[in-house]
Amino acid sequence: MAALISHIFSSSALVSLGLYHLICTTRNHLKSPREYVAKPYHPFPLSSSSSPRLKYIQLYLLMLSLLVALILQLLTSTVSDPLLKGSTPVHRFTSLQSAAVLFLFLLLSLALFLSDATSLLPLPSDLLFALASAVFFLQFSVSSASASVQTSDIQAKCDSISARISVVSALLCLLLACQPRLFVADVVLGASFCLQGLWVLQTGLSLYVEAFIPEGCHRLLDVVSGVEGSTKCDLEESRLRAVAILDLVFVVHVMFVVVIVLVIYAVVVKTVGLRRFGSYEALPTLPAADSNHVQMKALAGTQA
């Protein structure tokens, strides 16, 4: 139960971060398309009567969520269940690796706060995007390594898909570090946060809720819930079927995120308005008197 609650908490934090990023990015682009530049952090809009501290409420919540997730990963690493095949507690090492990645994200969030709120660490946006790209690449490496040592077929597949989403986020951050005016990359980055959050939720449901475990697979009762080997597929046919179902569910999540992006864009357009650039505009017409004068002058020149 605790593992499922942890997945729900992480999913809520990632989806909220992705939605906030999508809304702010779209809003900034629609307001000034020509001056648009991607930002790693969007201050919370405040009214004249609001406290200035609320400007950084997103960063406060992000750092709190990362801290809680870090503590949960460290607690998971202390569980004494061994790997089913062998005697090495592999989950301890994978949990510590995940905790290290979370610590780096927490450190990056703190650096972002110090850069924006104080003059102690004035980091440029391109450097912040580059650092985020490096941490996402590290997360991809950790998730891939975790998938390769899992004895749970479902857990390995979920980790593999999560690694793919992480590498997409890493590439997008690297692209924004080089091309900060690329609006499409910034939108897709926010969408990748939403997709990662939804997939974290799907992972928790597929591993710890009986109704979502594919047919032919089951939870093992002789290990603590939340470590490797918590689910097992007895037959190869059942394993292949479970993997195919997870692939199909992932496609459904991608479709859902695309719908979210379209809905957010439509709502923000309704709120802010749309400024189109690059289209042809009609030239101002001359008054009738001036037009006749030009025509008469051209006619006189022709007769001469």
Question: Would you list the domain boundaries of the chain?
Answer: 2-81+88-276
Q: Determine the Cα–Cα distance for residues 189 and 218; give it in Å rounded to an integer.
A: 35
Q: What percent of the chain has pLDDT over 70?
A: 78
Structure tokens belonging to residue 219: 């939870």
Whole-number Cα distances in Å, 248 to 127, 162, 266:
37, 15, 27
Cβ-proximal residues to 191 (8 Å cutoff; 6+ apart), any chain: 18, 22, 257, 258, 260, 261
Residue the block writes with tokens 């603590």: 224
Least confident of 120-134, 180-194, 275-289: 275-289
Q: Distance between CA 278 and CA 295 in Å, rounded?
A: 32
Residues 6+ apart with CB under 8 A from 72: 6
The Cα–Cα gap between 115 and 124 comes to: 8
Band (281; pLDDT cuts 50, 70, 90): very low
Banded model confidence at residue 155, pLDDT cuts 50, 70, 90? confident
Residue 302: per-residue pLDDT = 46
Query: Do 76 and 96 touch, CB atoms closer than 8 A?
Result: no
The stretch 71-88 carries a mean pLDDT of 65
pLDDT at 279 over 80: no
136 vs 51 pLDDT, higher one? 136
- Closest among 85, 72, 92 to 220, alpha carbons compared: 85
Cβ-based neighbours of 208, under 8 Å, separated by 6 or more: 1, 3, 4, 7, 219, 225, 226, 230
In the 8-state DSSP scheme, what is residue 84? Answer: S
d(CA 223, CA 91): 12
Which residues fall within 8 angstroms of residue 56, CB to CB, at 6 or more apart?
43, 44, 113, 116, 117
**Alpha carbon separation from 97 to 9, 92, 93, 147, 281 (Å, rounded):** 20, 9, 6, 13, 57
Q: What is the pLDDT of residue 296?
A: 45
pLDDT at 304 over 60: no
Instruction: Please give the C-alpha separations between residue 180 and each of 35, 38, 102, 134, 275, in angstroms, as whole numbers.
Output: 11, 5, 25, 17, 20
- Looking at per-residue pLDDT, the higher value among 13 and 300 belongs to 13
Q: How far is CA 59 from the centre of its chain?
A: 15
pLDDT band at 213 (very low <50, low <70, confident <90, very high): confident
H helices present in the chain, as ranges:
2-31, 57-76, 90-117, 125-149, 153-178, 183-208, 236-272, 288-303
Which amino acid is it at 282? A
For the cut 70, the answer to whether the pLDDT of residue 86 exceeds it is no
Query: pLDDT (tens digit, 9 = 90+) per residue, 21-63?
Result: 999 999 999 988 888 999 888 887 765 555 667 788 888 889 9
pLDDT at position 223 is: 56
User: Model-level pTM?
Assistant: 0.83
Helix (H) or strand (E) holding 233: strand 231-233
**What per-residue confidence (pLDDT) applies to 148?**
76
Given a cut of 60, is residue 81 above it in pLDDT? no
Helix axes 183-208, 236-272, angle to 10 degrees: 140
First to last CA, the chain: 98
